[in-house]
Amino acid sequence: MKNGKWLLLFLPFFLFADAKNELIKFYKKHYPNIKIISIYTQKPFPKKYKKISFKFANYKSQSGNLIIDNKYYFYRIKAKLKVYTANRVIKKNEPVFSNVSQKEINFRNFYSPPLIKIDKNLIASKVISKNAVITKNNTKIKPDILKGDSINVVFKGNGIEIYSKGKALNDANINDKIKVEINHKIYEGVVDKNNIVEIK
Whether 171 is covered by a domain: the verdict is: yes
For 6, 7, 10, 160, the CA distances from 3, given in Å and listed in that order, are 8, 10, 19, 94
Question: What was the pLDDT predicted at 17?
Answer: 67
Whether residue 120 is found in the same domain as residue 185: no
Whether residue 37 is found in the same domain as residue 81: yes
Whether residue 44 is found in the same domain as residue 105: yes
This prediction's pTM: 0.76
Whether residue 128 is found in the same domain as residue 41: yes
Question: What was the pLDDT predicted at 158?
Answer: 87
DSSP string for residues in 68-82 = ETTEEEEEEEEEEEE
Whether residue 54 is found in the same domain as residue 137: yes
Whether 122 is covered by a domain: the verdict is: yes
Question: What was the pLDDT predicted at 47?
Answer: 86
Whether 189 is covered by a domain: the verdict is: yes
Question: What was the pLDDT predicted at 153?
Answer: 96
Whether residue 75 is found in the same domain as residue 92: yes
Whether residue 125 is found in the same domain as residue 185: no
For 2, 4, 10, the CA distances from 7, given in Å and listed in that order, are 7, 10, 10
Report whether 127 contacts 91 (CB < 8 A). Answer: yes
User: Total structural domains in the chain?
Assistant: 2
Question: Which residues does the chain have with pLDDT short of 50?
Answer: 1-16
Q: Which of 94, 119, 142 is the last residue of a domain?
A: 142
Whether residue 41 is found in the same domain as residue 64: yes
Question: What was the pLDDT predicted at 12?
Answer: 47
Domain that holds residue 26: 15-142
Whether residue 187 is found in the same domain as residue 95: no
Whether 5 is covered by a domain: the verdict is: no
Question: What was the pLDDT predicted at 73?
Answer: 96
Whether 6 is covered by a domain: the verdict is: no
Query: What's the CATH number where 168 sits?
Result: 2.30.30.760
Whether 10 is covered by a domain: the verdict is: no
pLDDT of 94-147, one tens digit each? 999 999 999 999 999 888 989 989 999 999 999 999 999 999 999 999 999 999
Whether residue 88 is found in the same domain as residue 184: no
Whether residue 79 is found in the same domain as residue 57: yes
